[in-house]
Chain A
Amino acid sequence: MSDSAGVKDVQAGKAAETKSAGDIELSAGDRQKIVTPEYMFFEAPRERAFITGSEAAKEAIRRSNVDVAISYPITPQSETMQQVGSLWAEGYVKEYFRGEEEIGVMSAIAGSSRAGARSMTATGGPGLMRGMEVIASWPGGRIPAVLLIMCRVVNAPLAIQPDNVELSYLLNSGIILFHGENQQDFFDYTLKAFIISERPEITLPVAVAVDGFFVTHARGYVSMPSKDIKLPPRDPYAEAVPTMDNENPPARLSRDAPIQKSNFISYQVHASWQQEVWAANERARRYIDKYMGGLIEVVNPDAEIMLIASGSAVSQSREAVRQAEEEHNTKVGLIKVRSLRPFPTPELRAACKHAKRILVPEFNCMGWLHREIVTALYGYSKAEIVPGPRVYGGMSMPTEMILQTIFPEKKFVF
């Protein structure tokens, strides 16, 4: 690696410290060089690997300077937190344990994050639902942490197959929520999630979701910087609320929780606190623009028919866009939604101004993204907003299904 201005060599200093301290051996994590987020994201030379989504998550965690990782198995997530366990055994993650179940895990994350430690966990489907009481309280606790979500069916009858209905439950929680399309997104969004989560003006948890199996268990090309570098450590003293480590005055939130009182002041406290959580969520936009290339990506911006999708539905839509052009001589546009919270309302309004027909392919039954888009575009677009196509319960989405919705007069077999 070149001696770029962005690279801070702390190894020399660390080694000297260690020497004077005696016989402490440097861990693998200690031997990594700390680099600036910008260097890690944009400048560091990258090499391409053909790996699964779970492995992409592992490689992101390896470079994220994580203090505490807490695991609990659930299909299709288990492999990721197993691999994070290996990172701990190798010395890339400082502390790791298997919790008792998801309420315990999400609560322990709230504890370790309050201790000022960079903290992460992963779950999916019923695990997310079980942890939801706690997860929904993280934003109000102003807990910076990263939650990886590998979506699967949550409802009865029991199934482990991909279906992303669970993300709809997070939309009103205050958590920042990204939805990755593929293995590369999973790697990049995870690294960036830590930095966005810990920004002083944000100080919120960030969830990075991908669709289970399609991303977690399938291989894709992922270009990654060297494993010899890592992100700068968390600086808890720069964040929006004090860390509970007795090294700074404690947060008044704990001492004067609104529940202690029933009067208009306590209602006002709670109301303004909620407003501030959502304002902080909106402030993430700046960093999503800076680090992730914006809340949306637009393909064929001038097309009159637009597909809007997130997650694996984007990949299928990309292919449908190609087939529509090459086989049916029609230019179809595509908007990939990277960030579900904050939601790209102004971006979608601008990108859909000229659209006559909007289709929303989704991997869930009730169509939460469709509802979000209808709400965002109401009064700003005259386009017909088609609810679908949709698959769920583990089904895959053939591109013919999307083409059938684009060309209702034609007949596709799928």
Chain B
Amino acid sequence: MSLKNMTITPGWEKYMTKEYIDLVERGPYGKQKKVSEMGSFKEILEEHPMCAGCAMTLFIRLTMVGLPNPEHTILIGTAGCGRLALTQTSIPFIYGNYGDTNAVASGLKRGLEVRFKDQAKDVVVMAGDGGLADIGFSAVMHSWFRKERFTTIMLDNEVYGNTGGQESGMTERGALLKMAPKGKLFDKMDMIGLAKTSGVAYIARLTPTNPTRVASVVRKAVMIAREVGPTFIQAYTSCNIEYAIPTPKVLDDARDIESKRYGFMEIISDEAKAYLDSIDTAKKAKKE
């Protein structure tokens, strides 16, 4: 929510909780925080009910640091583990129906554009592989075809984690999971390829192994969505429970998967590239 609305009415400071005062005084609103500063400011997401060692939670925390304008950002999620953390962020969060994220985001973004001509409002979808590639597939694809101006972030743990470990379209072929008692019989869906085909302006694939990169990719994706067109981030955020990854080995697993089949990849349209360059040029000019 905008900083103006968070600011405590004079005289009421003593009634507010420490966490709230910290959020107003030492939160990331109105200034771009860096990953290296984590621990020195009140983060948008600190407490959450996710499993110990969950890579998805780490990724979401880094995403929150990367948001270029959190005070004017609205998050949209759907059923899945991610929303357990997203509901605990200090950013308005819409939790609608199953697989509706990209349709809700389309309406929300357009409604906000009608009402706020002079203030950019960033809309960010964060949902799981099941929510985006299976049940929400049609809404995702059509939001891309229509060139809706918001960011879609897939928290890809390659399984329905929240319902107890069933196969999803993003599961690797052969994986033994619930509802795949003989192992998954078809390949992992190529959402990157589909994003490319449907003309997404900025596409990134990554794991949480490089925190600075996560924040930087998120920042780029949100900025490009604001000015150019749809953006998509597909992030490997393993489920250490369903894939039986020992808690201390979660990042080792991420590095391993990254080296084998989930390497960092960025696809950027010419228009998006030109836009990013123009920001850089403006920044440099300001410094000089």
Give the docked Cα–Cα distance between A246 and B103 (Å): 20
Q: Are B114 and A246 in contact (CB under 8 A)?
A: no
Give the docked Cα–Cα distance between A104 and B107 (Å): 9
Q: Are B139 and A137 in contact (CB under 8 A)?
A: no
Indicate if A240 sits at the interface (CB-CB under 8 A): no
Taking A246-B72, A247-B2 as contacts, is the C-beta distance between A109 and B115 under 8 angstroms?
A: no
Indicate if B100 sits at the interface (CB-CB under 8 A): yes
Q: Are B93 and A108 in contact (CB under 8 A)?
A: no
Q: Are B107 and A257 in contact (CB under 8 A)?
A: no
Closest A residue by C-beta to B4: A247
Known: A99-B106, A117-B110, A256-B87. 11 other contacts (CB 8 A): A95-B110, A100-B138, A111-B107, A115-B114, A117-B112, A134-B96, A134-B100, A245-B74, A245-B121, A247-B1, A257-B95
Indicate if B146 sits at the interface (CB-CB under 8 A): yes
| Chain A residues numbered 66-97 whose CB sits less than 8 Å from any CB in chain B | 67-68, 70, 94-95, 97
Closest Cβ of chain A to B162, distance in Å, is 10
Closest Cβ of chain B to A122, distance in Å, is 15
Taking A137-B96, A247-B5 as contacts, is the C-beta distance between A67 and B138 under 8 angstroms?
A: no
Over the window 43-72 of chain A, the binary record of Cβ atoms lying under 8 Å from chain B Cβ atoms (1 yes, 0 no) is 000000000000000000000000110100
| Chain B residues numbered 1-52 whose CB sits less than 8 Å from any CB in chain A | 1-2, 5, 49
Taking A246-B1, A254-B94, A255-B87 as contacts, is the C-beta distance between A117 and B104 under 8 angstroms?
A: no
Closest Cβ of chain A to B226, distance in Å, is 14
Residues of the A chain whose Cβ atoms lie less than 8 Å from the Cβ of B1? 246-250
Residues of the A chain whose Cβ atoms lie less than 8 Å from the Cβ of B104? 107-108, 110-111, 114
Over the window 220-260 of chain A, the binary record of Cβ atoms lying under 8 Å from chain B Cβ atoms (1 yes, 0 no) is 00000000000000000000000011111111001111001
Indicate if A393 sits at the interface (CB-CB under 8 A): no
Q: Which of B96, B114, B142 contacts A67 (CB 8 A)?
A: B114
Number of interface residues of A (CB under 8 A): 41
| Chain A residues numbered 163-200 whose CB sits less than 8 Å from any CB in chain B | none
Residues of the A chain whose Cβ atoms lie less than 8 Å from the Cβ of B71? 246
Q: Are A245 and B114 in contact (CB under 8 A)?
A: no
Give the docked Cα–Cα distance between A410 and B71 (Å): 74
Q: Are A110 and B107 in contact (CB under 8 A)?
A: yes
Residues of the B chain whose Cβ atoms lie less than 8 Å from the Cβ of A153? none
Q: Are A116 and B115 in contact (CB under 8 A)?
A: yes
Residues of the B chain whose Cβ atoms lie less than 8 Å from the Cβ of A314? none
Q: Are A107 and B100 in contact (CB under 8 A)?
A: yes
Q: Which of A70, A100, A245, A256 contacts B116 (CB 8 A)?
A: A245
Give the docked Cα–Cα distance between A257 and B97 (Å): 12
Closest B residue by C-beta to A94: B114
Number of interface residues of B (CB under 8 A): 40
Give the docked Cα–Cα distance between A115 and B104 (Å): 10
Indicate if A103 sits at the interface (CB-CB under 8 A): yes
**Can you pick out 26 interface pairs between chain A and chain B where the beta carbons lie within 8 Å of each other?**
A67-B114, A67-B115, A68-B107, A103-B103, A104-B139, A105-B103, A107-B96, A109-B107, A110-B96, A110-B100, A110-B107, A111-B76, A111-B105, A111-B110, A112-B107, A113-B107, A115-B108, A115-B110, A117-B111, A246-B1, A246-B74, A247-B2, A254-B92, A254-B93, A254-B94, A260-B84
Q: Which of A94, A244, A247, A254 contacts B108 (CB 8 A)?
A: A244
Q: Are B115 and A115 in contact (CB under 8 A)?
A: yes
Taking A111-B106, A115-B108, A244-B108 as contacts, is the C-beta distance between A249 and B114 under 8 angstroms?
A: no
Q: Which residues on A are within 8 Å of B, measured CB to CB?
A: 67-68, 70, 94-95, 97, 99-101, 103-105, 107-117, 119, 133-134, 137, 141, 244-251, 254-257, 260
Closest Cβ of chain B to A217, distance in Å, is 29
Q: Which of B2, B97, B98, B108 contacts A114 (CB 8 A)?
A: B108
Residues of the B chain whose Cβ atoms lie less than 8 Å from the Cβ of A251? 92
Indicate if B73 sits at the interface (CB-CB under 8 A): yes
Over the window 59-79 of chain B, the binary record of Cβ atoms lying under 8 Å from chain A Cβ atoms (1 yes, 0 no) is 000000000000111101000
Indicate if B113 sits at the interface (CB-CB under 8 A): yes
Q: Are B93 and A115 in contact (CB under 8 A)?
A: no
Q: Are B138 and A101 in contact (CB under 8 A)?
A: yes
Q: Are B103 and A99 in contact (CB under 8 A)?
A: yes
Give the docked Cα–Cα distance between A68 and B88 (Å): 30
Residues of the A chain whose Cβ atoms lie less than 8 Å from the Cβ of B87? 254-257, 260
Q: Are B2 and A246 in contact (CB under 8 A)?
A: yes
Q: Which of B84, B108, B112, B146 contacts A97 (CB 8 A)?
A: B146
Q: Which of B88, B93, B103, B121 contacts A104 (CB 8 A)?
A: B103
Q: Are A95 and B114 in contact (CB under 8 A)?
A: yes
Taking A97-B110, A245-B112, A246-B73 as contacts, is the C-beta distance between A107 and B5 under 8 angstroms?
A: no
